[in-house]
Homo-oligomer: A and B are copies of this chain.
Amino acid sequence: MSGPTQITDKRVERSKAKVLAETYRQLVQSGIAGVSIDEISRISGISKTTIYRHWPSRSALLIDACSRLGGAPVAPDTGGLRSDARALLSHLAHQLRTANWSSVYPSIIDAAERDAEICAMQAALHKAFMAPFEAVIERAKAKGEIPRDRVTSDIVALLAGPFFFRRWFAKEEMDDHFIDAVIDAAIR
């Protein structure tokens, strides 16, 4: 639409970057509730007044920072549905174990329960996150590896659901055996 919204002034870029970096740090360490403007200012070295010059409120900063959590999604193409799924789930399990966002996400989910803006942000985040899953499944449908009448979002839930469940609710391991069990169940 509007392109890169030309920011010419280096000072603005530097300030924003520093603030976002420190916001991200606090987000990962303490969740949404633990993010404090005063502390961002203190640690990043950017004055609080400057922060409020770039974001109208704490909420706006939080939403901006959270929106940048998702990395560029990649849909594997290994030649077959099962191996694609294994790649997806193996990557998901690894992310859930190690990635920074996996400790932030529950606080986003919680906040989304009561805040419309955060809810919208979470929806966008989730969509981007699940895109590779949908891509792989659609491709398999096109190739006839899955019957067309199976609902894509059902399969996504069958594949990803058990992992989210284990990471945050059951708190159990997600090893190769589990990955195979999930694939066997979801793709029969």
Binding site for B on A (CB under 8 A): 30-31, 33, 103, 106-107, 109-110, 113-114, 123, 126, 130, 151, 153-154, 156-158, 160-166, 168-172, 177-178, 181-182, 184-186, 188
Contact = CB atoms under 8 A, between A and B. Distances in A.
B107 A110 contact: yes
A169 B30 contact: no
A151 B106 contact: no
Nearest to A156: B170
Contacts of A160: 165
Contact of A181 (B151, B162, B170, B184): B151
Nearest to A30: B114
A133 to B, nearest CB: 11
A103 B109 contact: no
User: Which of A33, A123, A168, A182 counts the most B-chain CB atoms under 10 A from its CB?
Assistant: A168
Given A33-B33, A164-B165, A158 B181 contact: yes
Given A106-B109, A114-B31, A188-B188, A157 B168 contact: no
Given A110-B107, A171-B123, A166 B161 contact: yes
A78 to B, nearest CB: 22
Nearest to A172: B153
A126 B162 contact: no
B165 A165 contact: yes
A170 to B, nearest CB: 6
A169 B109 contact: yes
